[in-house]
Every structure is written in C-alpha cells, then in structure tokens.
Structure 1
C-alpha cells in the first residue's frame, strides 16, 4: 500500500488495538511522484523525526522536543490542511531545538538500485508513533531542475482505513509512502567574448552582432536573442564581453556572428555551440562561454550600430525599447 504524503483522516477507533512495542519500517518511494523519470536518476536525502508516541487506542503524545504540538483533536474530521499545519508546527519545533538537546534524526537516501522498478529508501528499526518526513531540496542529475518537497506527517503503523476512511483497517507496520514534489526550471548564463587582432582607428568604433538560439530536445525554439558588441581597439586589453542571463539550463545554444563589422572579418568559426550550465551548480561555477576574434580586412567601410529590443505587449502589439545595451565588461 502506498500512503499519500499526508494523513487526510485518522479513524483509529475502527481498527484493532495497536501493538505499541512492535518494530516498524517505513519505505519512501518516488514511483507515484509524477517525476519518476528524473527521480530514478537522483539521490534524494530524506530525514525522519519521531514527533509523538502512540498508545494502543491510537492516541498520540508528543515527544519532548515537540511538546508544543497538540494532537488531542485528531479524528475523522481532521483535514489534509490540518495535517499540513501540524507538520508546519513540527518544523518550527525543529528550528527551536537547543544545541544541548538535539532532536534525534534518521536519514535515508532515496535512489534507484539495480533491479528495482523505481527509486526507494527504507527506514528500519522504528518505534510506533507519529513521524515528520523531511525530504531535502535536490537538483536532477542534469542540473536543469530543482525539486523541493513538502514535509509531512505520517503514522506508524498505518492502515488504509486510518488514512482515508475506506479499505482495510488492518494495521500495516511496514508501510510505503510517497513524495510530494514541485519542480523549478533552472537557468544559466552565457558569456560572449570578442577580441580584435588589429584595429583601424581611422574607421572609428566597430560593432559586431551575434544571434543566439537554443532548441529543446524536440527541436522547438526555446531561446532566441540578438546582442551587439562595440570595440575601439585591438588585443586583450580592449576585448569586450556580453553576458546573457535567464537561459534555460541544459539548453544547447548556437551563437552566430551575423555581422562582423564593416571592413572586419571573422577569424575562425563564425558559428559556435555550447551547453548552458545552471548558475553556480555545475563545474567551477563559471557560466558557459564562447569567444570570437575578428581582424581588419584592409577595407574602408566603417561599421557601428545599436541593438534594438522589442517586447510584446500581450495584445498583438510590440513595444520598442532602443537602445537596450547588453551587460558589457571591458578588459576581459
């Protein structure tokens, strides 16, 4: 039986007496989380705190660190929201714990083992009672999504009838519970660096323009931007960079120098690809980057410009913002 990640009702009066000295186990499963594809490739750390003991009739008495909690009104009318509020109270008690009297905690890793159908983790040698389940916020293996989890209370033993008011009222001393998760799409940054091998000062400042596009795994355009850089000298001391932020993490982007500047030409590849890394989560924390080098071609055509930016007003119209400069850093 897979128990929902909260106790919607408690109807212990219809069940047999609880064997309070029985040793229990609790398995946490990611099978029905809605994100099993990601969770099967992750390791999720789950902490477990014993909040209250229980008597043979199903009445709960809070443990010392959680003495502020009141379980006297638990019954058939207790709602999921009520249980969530109780879980919040338990979390507050954890924050108030004293250093000289720490709350006992057990931890387990929820992950997919060889031969298993889904990611699971099992707590063993547990006493009967009420427990607070606290999964740790975790990123997926590709570092493209961050999952946060709702802490909740669960009881040992459990039963179908005690949890939902229907089904068997036989106590299960080794239940399986699920995870309630929400995913947040992560983003990263892209740095475009431009250097000139040589520079014709008589032509004045030169502007080059880059088109940046990224398609998802289905080939759908997921990101598009255009950015310009203006240079006034050659060498590393006069290099310019533009940093684009808020790009979906894990996306492969293609950066194309669509305009190299009047009387200048691209040295090397005018088209480069890179994968966007989650800000601060991958590698050494540096963003994805590409570098381009241009050289004066001997001509006398000057080239300078600004980057126009258009924003949709949501009513089939567009707002023109001009100019909208990128984040430009010198001497990179």
Structure 2
C-alpha cells in the first residue's frame, strides 16, 4: 500500500467523471482497503484543543465500466446532496449541506471518531469529516452568512473548522486539481484540517480604593487600558479607556468582561484623578489576562484627597480594537460631570 501526503483543496479528492486514464479500464482496485489520517497544518496550539474528527459515510463509489474512474451513490439520508458537478463553490456547499444533515438527524451515527494524526481504516467510499472539540457539548456556530461551522478550544485559542467531504481511493492533488491523466491511485490518504484560529477573550477587573472623600461632588478616576499580544509589547491587540465614579470613600470596581485576548500583557494607567485627589503609590499596573477557568486578571489603584478642595470633570472617550487592530467607533462616557 503506497502512502502519499497531500494537502486538502476545495476539490478534496472528490473525483468526477473527468478522471480518465486513456486506454486503461478500472485500474483502481475496488476491494483494496483504504485509510485516512487527518493532520494539523501550521497551528502549534491546536494540539491543546482536544480535537476529535467524526467521520460519516455519505455513500458508495460506483466503478465506471469504461474508464478508470467512479461516480457516487449517496446514502438515502444524504439524498438532498447534489454531487452532479463539483467545483470549488459547489464542493464547499455540498460539504456544508452534508454536515447540516448530520446535525439535524440524530439517527446518523459516525463510523468512527479519531484524533489528529490517527489512522482510520475504511473501505472505498464517500465520507464526511466533522472536526470539533471533544470536550464541548455545543460545538457549532454560525458565521455572518448563516453557514454552520464547528469549533474547538484550547486554554488560549478558539479554532473554527470547515467540514471536509472526501472520497477513497483518490488521486494526487496538483495545484488544486486532481490529475486527470497521470499518477497512481492513493489508498492511504493524509488530509490537512481546514481550520482558522482566533484568540479567546478574558476579563480585566480594575479596583479603585478612595481613602478620603472631599464632599465636593462625584470623584471621577479615568484609566487607559492597552493590551499587547505578549510581553514584548510590539503588537497592540486592545485599547480602551474606562472610568470609575465614586460618591464617597471606600472601594469601587469596573470589570471589562471577555474582551481582551487571553495571555495578553495589559498595561493599565490612571490618567485622570480629578483636581482634588492624588494617587497613592504607582499610577501604572501590568497584568496578564488569565484563562477563563481562572479568576479574572485584576489591578488595584489607591487615591487620597489632596486637601485642596478643588473640583474637576472628565470625558471618557473609548477606543476598542478588534482582532485586525482596526478602531471601532468611539463611545463617549460623560460620567463625572
């Protein structure tokens, strides 16, 4: 059995009627055992996401009596699939439709569930692979186009998977296309998972302690929050401004919930303390955003009256960066007037 490694393309090994080896009739061996292995691409943290790949049998491959190729005969449960023509667009739609059929029909059971880099022995046929987090009860989401995808989560990353429709045996993928006249049949296939990675988000708590209140109106304290991808502080991933308004001595807090990438290095500065209050200790704190199964990252600041009996006000302009570091529309907070 000869094993060749290939990257899955949008055609994903689905062989149409164009696979002709002139002068040869059914060179592929219909009864030869097949196998498939799913591998990670270039995302090292994916090994921490507890990924399992559920494999479903969608149908059979039917040998062509005249040419070295086959067509598909789908199982009745997948009769809604249109496999008459398969190109980049229709393949993606067919794989998505097949997964929706599986998700909507509890009676359809996978033939196996395997981890990454594990080999699964199969007979020749048409199959659907649905990767997801094995530790998640609800592992599906929808994108803005209404398309369903599956997820897995490591402590710091969330992974989005597209379903994979593949057939066995297959032929080598060359520049995104299946070879029509050259190459050997592949019975032992390796498929790279179709996956995207994005950071998971954690929370930040800012705690303010006011030792003495001057009874001259609300006391407003403003903080700048800048989060960087790591300790090098080279890549800004989040920027915002928050305020805490106090009407007496004691302690108040504000929590920024699930908005800063886990593992990010966050620098919090008290940039405004009002006209009649002064900072006790440092005006800057640094903290790392903790995983969701741990207590939220927290920073604390302390202030006291400066005995000047002055009064001030502030305007809080907030700027939030998304994953592409594009600023959203600022929101103004006129607290502390």
| TM-score under structure 1 length normalisation | 0.73
Distance 1:138 1:171 in 2: 33
8 A contact 1:147–1:183 mirrored in 2: yes
Partner of 2:93: 85
Is the counterpart of residue 122 in structure 1 residue 124 in structure 2? no
- Secondary structure, counterpart of 2:115 in structure 1: strand
1:291: Cα distance to partner? 2.4
Provide the C-alpha distance between the structure 2 equivalents of 1:256 and 1:122, rounded to a whole number of angstroms.
52
Partner SS, residue 92 of structure 2: helix
Q: Which residue of 2 aligns with 1:182?
A: 196
Compared with structure 1, are the counterparts of its residues 3 and 52 closer, same or farther at alpha carbon in structure 2 (3 Å cutoff)?
farther
CA distance in 2 between partners of 1:150 and 1:128 (Å): 23
Q: Counterpart in 2 of 1:27?
A: 37
Calculate the TM-score normalised by the size of structure 2: 0.72
**Which of the residues 300, 304, 307 maps onto 1:295?**
304
Alpha carbons 2:33, 2:123 under 8 Å: kept: yes
What's the CA shift for 1:105? 3.6
Partner SS state of residue 85, structure 1: helix
CA positional deviation for 1:183: 2.9
What are structure 2's unaligned runs of at least 5 residues? Answer: 65-69, 133-149, 321-328
Look up the match of 2:166: 154
Deviations 1:178-199 (A, max 9, x none): 1222233444442322122332
Mark the runs of 5 or more structure 1 residues left unpaired by the alignment. Answer: 111-119, 313-318, 327-332
Shift of 1:252: 0.8
Q: 1:181 to 1:205 in 2, by over 3 A?
A: same
Q: Kindly indicate whether the alpha-carbon contact (under 8 Å) linking 2:214 and 2:309 is maintained by their aligned counterparts in 1.
A: no
Q: Deviations over 1:177-229 (max 9, x none)?
A: 1122223344444232212233232x333222322223334533513333332
User: Among residues 231, 244, 266, which one is paired with 1:229 in the alignment?
Assistant: 244
Cα distance change, pair 167–287 in 1 and its aligned pair in 2 (3 A): farther
1:49 corresponds in structure 2 to: 56
**Structure 2 residue 282 is the aligned partner of structure 1 residue 266:** no
Deviations 1:47-94 (CA, angstroms, capped at 9, x unpaired): 1111011233323221232233354x35xxx31222222223322321
Note the alpha carbon deviations across 1:227-279, whole angstroms, 9 max, x for none.
Answer: 3322111224xx243637743443211112234344434345432222235xx
User: Is the contact made by 1:227 and 1:307 (CA closer than 8 Å) also made in structure 2?
Assistant: no
* 1:21-64 alpha-carbon deviations (Å, 9 max, x no partner): 33221011223xxx333335544221111101123332322123
In the alignment, the residues of structure 1 paired with residue 71 and residue 310 of structure 2 have an alpha-carbon distance, to the nearest angstrom, of 84
Alpha carbons 1:208, 1:229 under 8 Å: kept: yes
Match of 1:257 among 270, 273, 278: 270
**1:133 equivalent in alignment to 2:129:** yes
Give the alignment partner of residue 95 of structure 1, picking from 96, 103, 114: 103
Corresponding residue for 2:223?
Answer: 210
Residues 43 and 166 of structure 1: CA distance in aligned 2, closer, same or farther (over 3 Å):
farther
Match of 2:8 among 4, 8, 19: 4
Equivalent residues of 2:222, 2:316 under 8 A apart: no
